Amino acid sequence: MEMLIVFFYIVYVIEYYYWLFKLKNADRAYLRISFEREAYANERNLNYLNERRFWSFRKYL
């Protein structure tokens, strides 16, 4: 909710196409998106949403 839904999707799509053009591989581009990297890095931490700081996805850019 920190970016609102519209801004989240705008950044998500821009970041996906950036990596897609750079890597020329859709699967690798998906895995390079900062939101996905944050999610995969913290998927085992059940308290992550409670511990997470505001705009924490920036460190995965």
Considering the entire predicted model, what is its pTM?
A: 0.80
Instruction: Give the range of the structural domain holding residue 16, as residue numbers without chain letter.
Output: 4-60
Q: Which of the four pLDDT bands, split at 50, 70 and 90, describes residue 25?
A: very high
Report how many domains make up the chain: 1
Q: Is 80 exceeded by the pLDDT of residue 58?
A: no
Q: How far apart are CA 61 and CA 33, in angstroms?
A: 8
Q: Which of the four pLDDT bands, split at 50, 70 and 90, describes residue 1?
A: low
Q: Which two tokens stand for residue 1?
A: 């909710």
